[in-house]
Structure 1
Amino acid sequence: MLYAQTPAHEKRRLFRERLATGELLRFPGAFNPLSARLIERKGFEGVYISGAVLSADLGLPDIGLTTLTEVAARGQQIARTTELPAIIDADTGFGEPMNVARTIQTLEDAGIAGAHIEDQVNPKRCGHLDGKAVVDEDTALKRIRAAVDARRDPNFLVMARTDIRAVDGLDAATDRARKLVDAGADAIFPEAMRSLEEFAAVRAAVDVPILANMTEFGKSDLFSVDQLRDVGVNIVIWPVSLLRIAMGAAERALDTLIDEGHLTPRLGEMQHRADLYDLIDYESYNHFDTNVFTFRIDR
């Protein structure tokens, strides 16, 4: 009832232990707390919280317009509803290295298991759009050092994302990945890889876990879990997929209302009320409420 029973520090410890096994962990993107609970119910290993989803949920483009307060608040809402570890998109850290440090501690307090900091110029843009720009090496490394130095829980995962592949090519991406690891990054997120061979090249370049972003309509082909496992990927995310599917279904439902005046043809596509109540554990709330308001005091 209410929130997860596993404390944040324990989620981080268990996540680190599982990541250390080398298995591939699946982190679908949750667009709200209820979808995070569904991800857990379906047996996935973690929850991803996308900056693109957070900005879209506010009706904004993914160009660095969201604030740390908005991101941390939404991250906390999602992370506390599931026993799974949550990784969050912290963009460029919301400012200079000192801002990055504050970002990490704020996300720790929000119960997040890990965050990635990227090397784009601020304000950033979606990693699969053209026209990106990245910061110089010194700035990129300072961001990661600040993040590592700031964390209080050593199990909080500091992941470095690099977007340099789209700007300067694969060799530049593997070189920067190595230097980000030397700066203290616990994992590498190479954005917008074009092939399995490119993921394999990053895998060969570093000795820390790597993440694959399987976002639709982007620069990367949509490789399967098995394909990514075979080239040594450790975490795979589908950051915006559930939001896209949900919004597509909402649009079709609205079109049906316009055309037919009712939603009877769409009932089979809806989550049943009983399933919703089960997912939010309605019965536990009812039991708790009954215990509170129907007790008797013996005299």
Structure 2
Amino acid sequence: MAHPALRQAFAQRKFIVAPGIFDMISAKVADGMGFDCLYGTGFGTVASHLGVPDAGIATYTDMVARMGQMARGVRTPMIADADTGYGGLLNVRHTVMGYEAAGISGIQLEDQEIPKKCGHTPGRRVIPAEEMVLKIKVAAEARVSPDFLIVARTDARTTLGLEEAIRRGLMFGDAGADVVFIESPESEAEMRAIGKAISKPLLANMVEGGRTPLLPAATLAAIGYAIAIYPAVGFLAMAAAMERVYGHLKQHGDSIAIGESYGFKRMTELMGFPEVWDFDQRWAQPEAAKAAE
């Protein structure tokens, strides 16, 4: 069931910072950090699950299973990327129903042509705005709980310009989107223009090395944004750390001098081993003792 905390936070104008999660380790680490929301990144989830580009290759079945697994494994409300809804209007309805049933609190849908491409990469093309409006209306009707949020994204800025992107953002808000996501503005001035034009809660996509400038949370809140997602920060840090330690292992043949790591004990605790050990103490060992009599 969708968590009501997200809608309440938007109503109270509380700015939300949402780290990207992409597998169960990242989900559990982020879940223990006290964030108000987690963001299931399409790029990172497709990369970690399938090892391929986020370019429309992953299916609804791939994504709802993976996103649902993460949502069920955390206590923090989660918004999840669902690309274009994986097809037409009937697909959108099915996707919303599936994501909500999986325990996700919000779904991100975008106006790209199929097959979609990852935001901040070239070659993205969008469908007519009127087609996306219908998708949003279908999505809003398909949800069971009013606390399940519809995040409507437009990729129009890169190919059609800022004015068209803002026009679409306004249309998407009027169609029933709870949050408007204008992808890839290319300057702080553009972001300020978006904040002035659109009154619906706005989402900022903070991608390290992407097309949009990285602004502090306080600045984003001041210019009209309600939530900032950081989809890549986790998997970029993970890849850098693994490249460093694997490189050391290959060069030196040991892990002795790698330095401080997360720690095996902490990882066993994160994954829930103490509960397993407690279970064994209460059940497995008494059964073994009984069998030995």
Q: TM-score range by the shorter chain?
A: over 0.9
Identity of aligned residues (%): 34
Q: Which residue of 2 aligns with 1:211?
A: 203
Give the gaps of 5 or more residues in structure 1: 1-7
Residue type of the alignment partner of 1:161 = R
Is 1:252 aligned to residue 244 of structure 2? yes
Relative to the length of structure 2, the TM-score reads 0.93
Residue type of the alignment partner of 1:61 = P
Relative to the length of structure 1, the TM-score reads 0.91
- Residues of 1 paired with 2:99 and 2:274: CA distance? 32
Is 1:43 aligned to residue 56 of structure 2? no
Within 5 Å, give how 1:130-141 maps onto structure 2: 130-141=122-133
CA contact (8 A) 2:196 2:223 kept: no
Q: Which string of whole-angstrom CA distances, capped at 9 and with x for unpartnered residues, describes residues 200-248 of structure 1?
A: 2222222221111001121011112222122121111110211111111
Q: Which residue of 2 aligns with 1:3?
A: none
Residue 295 (structure 1) shift: 6.2
Q: Which residue of 2 aligns with 1:273?
A: 264
Residue 128 (structure 1) shift: 0.6
Structure 1's consecutive aligned runs of 4 or more residues displaced over 6 angstroms after TM superposition are none
- Residues of 2 paired with 1:77 and 1:45: CA distance? 19
Residue 155 (structure 1) shift: 0.9
Aligned residues: 287
Give the gaps of 5 or more residues in structure 2: none
Residue type of the alignment partner of 2:237 = I
Give the match's secondary structure for 1:188. strand
Is 1:285 aligned to residue 291 of structure 2? no
- Residues of 2 paired with 1:290 and 1:16: CA distance? 43
- Residues of 2 paired with 1:162 and 1:229: CA distance? 20
Is 1:29 aligned to residue 29 of structure 2? no
CA contact (8 A) 1:104 1:147 kept: yes
CA contact (8 A) 1:196 1:228 kept: no
- Residues of 2 paired with 1:235 and 1:288: CA distance? 41
Q: Which residue of 1 aligns with 2:117?
A: 125
Q: Which string of whole-angstrom CA distances, capped at 9 and with x for unpartnered residues, describes residues 71-122 of structure 1?
A: 1111111111111011111000000011011000000111100011101111
Within 5 Å, give how 1:62-81 maps onto structure 2: 62-81=54-73
Q: Which residue of 1 aligns with 2:167?
A: 175
Residue 25 (structure 1) shift: 0.6
Please report the RMSD computed on the Cα atoms of aligned residues, expressed in angstroms.
1.6
Within 5 Å, give how 1:220-259 maps onto structure 2: 220-259=212-251
Residue 253 (structure 1) shift: 1.6
- Residues of 2 paired with 1:235 and 1:219: CA distance? 18
- Residues of 1 paired with 2:27 and 2:36: CA distance? 11
- Residues of 2 paired with 1:292 and 1:27: CA distance? 40
- Residues of 2 paired with 1:285 and 1:201: CA distance? 53
Give the match's secondary structure for 2:237. helix
- Residues of 2 paired with 1:186 and 1:150: CA distance? 14
